[in-house]
Amino acid sequence: MRVGAAIQSLGSASEEEEERTMVEKEEEAGGNGGGGGGGGGAAISEEEAAQYDRQIRLWGLEAQKRLRASRVLLVGMKGLGAEVAKNLILAGVKALTMLDHQQVMPEDTKAQFLVPTGSLGKNRAEASLTRARDLNPMVDVKADPENIEQKPEEFFTHFDVVCLTCCSKEVLVKVEQICHKNNIKFFTGDVFGYHGYMFANLGKHEFVEEKTKAVKASQGTEDGPDTKKAKLDFTETTLVKKCVTFCFLKEALALNWSSEKAKAALKRTTPDYFLLQVLLKFRSEKDRDPCVQNSAEDAEVLLQIRNDVLASLGVESDLLPDDFASCCFSEMAPVCAVVGGVLSQEVVKALSQRDPPLNNFFFFNGMKGSGIVECLAPT
């Protein structure tokens, strides 16, 4: 998979970074960060140290402590939800709540590996519970069969991260507002056939990044007696603290593409951004995603929605070719694996406060086998 690093923005991406060198080692720096689960907290047990040994070596003890103190709400237990659940449980969060009011359908058996055979008609979250718990007994995994649209605001305040899949645009916007108000990290993602995406809004997010330490070269080196060029000492690293600000999903989806500056940026923007808008509108109007059983009818509806959506955004309809709908049906298991891997990785980074987060979209095109990060935000 090729992940393009070309970050595109309309004007400023509402992003500011402040850097300061930290002389403390990782264990000291991690304890100062606060974060998803309320900081490092109690010492890790020998059993946990053995279970998470590789991760502790990768991102450090304090980052793992923050992770194990964090509670995550995951909404939507289709194929993508199963991938995210698996990755977060194995990573070692404190608790994961899987929320889904829908029943297991025949289509779910193609990509949803947490649902056992013979679960048709059962609640998707409850059917996934046994296998999810077996992945890591140290994580408190729960199933909630209620509808997210019926949940009060207070419900979301019990979590450090909320991750939504299978939700309408209206629900996404509503829950994101609640998360922002209560300082909760917000993620969303979906897979439509060969296409998938994720979006993150971490508010004002602080994190640390490990960098190689630069040292001044002494005079008289092989570069010449007058050189004062700094050299990189690859034996030593330092932690740099940074801060980045995210925008709202509603703002990111409502960009004006009619200005000359926006038209120039349009040439560098992946069409998957506009495809997402079409698919979200289809979901809102039909209360479902495009399905294979109604492929001919749904393809016609998608074409009409494409024309309406792109016209409202000031974009030519040929940006999405007429046959785009043929690649948007059902969930493809490999696409779920890729998008679920990226999405869960970003959740781990947000909770552990290690490494730069993706700001703010990730799009994956399974037909091309490529992914790209886009920073799309208002000026």
Domain CATH code at residue 63: 3.40.50.720
**Whether residue 153 sits in one domain with residue 60:** yes
Residue located via tokens 């034996």 = 235
At 290, list the tokens. Answer: 């495009």
Read off the pTM. 0.85
> Is residue 349 one of the residues assigned to a domain?
yes
- 378/247 Cα distance (integer angstroms): 8
- 255/17 Cα distance (integer angstroms): 23
Structural domain range at position 259:
250-327
252 in helix, strand or coil? helix
Instruction: Give the H/E segment covering residue 240.
Output: strand 230-245
At 363, list the tokens. Answer: 């799009």
> Is residue 368 one of the residues assigned to a domain?
yes
**Whether residue 335 sits in one domain with residue 322:** no
**Whether residue 304 sits in one domain with residue 158:** no
The CA-CA-CA angle for residues 328, 333, 339, to 5°, reads: 80
- 332/257 Cα distance (integer angstroms): 31
What is the structure's pLDDT at 228? 58
At 130, list the tokens. Answer: 């046994």
**Whether residue 282 sits in one domain with residue 176:** no
- The residue from 327, 344, 365 where one domain ends is 327
> Is residue 216 one of the residues assigned to a domain?
no
- 200/282 Cα distance (integer angstroms): 22
Provide the number of structural domains found in the chain.
2
What is the structure's pLDDT at 261? 84
Q: What is the pLDDT along the chain (379 residues), one digit of tens a residue?
A: 333 333 333 333 333 333 333 323 333 433 333 334 444 455 788 888 888 888 888 888 888 999 999 999 999 999 999 999 999 999 999 999 999 999 999 999 889 999 999 999 999 999 999 999 999 999 999 999 999 999 999 999 999 999 999 999 999 999 999 999 999 999 999 999 999 999 999 999 999 888 877 666 555 555 555 555 666 556 677 888 999 999 999 999 999 898 888 888 898 999 999 999 999 999 999 999 999 999 999 999 999 999 999 999 989 988 999 999 999 999 999 999 999 999 999 999 999 998 999 999 999 999 999 999 999 999 7
**Whether residue 262 sits in one domain with residue 188:** no
164 in helix, strand or coil? strand
**Whether residue 256 sits in one domain with residue 147:** no
CB 375 within 8 A of CB 8: yes
Facing residues of 231 across strands? 215
What is the structure's pLDDT at 152? 97
Burial of 367 (C-beta count, 10 Å sphere; 0-12/13-18/19+) = exposed
Tally of CB atoms within 10 A around 283: 20
What is the structure's pLDDT at 16? 37
> Is residue 191 one of the residues assigned to a domain?
yes
**Whether residue 73 sits in one domain with residue 200:** yes
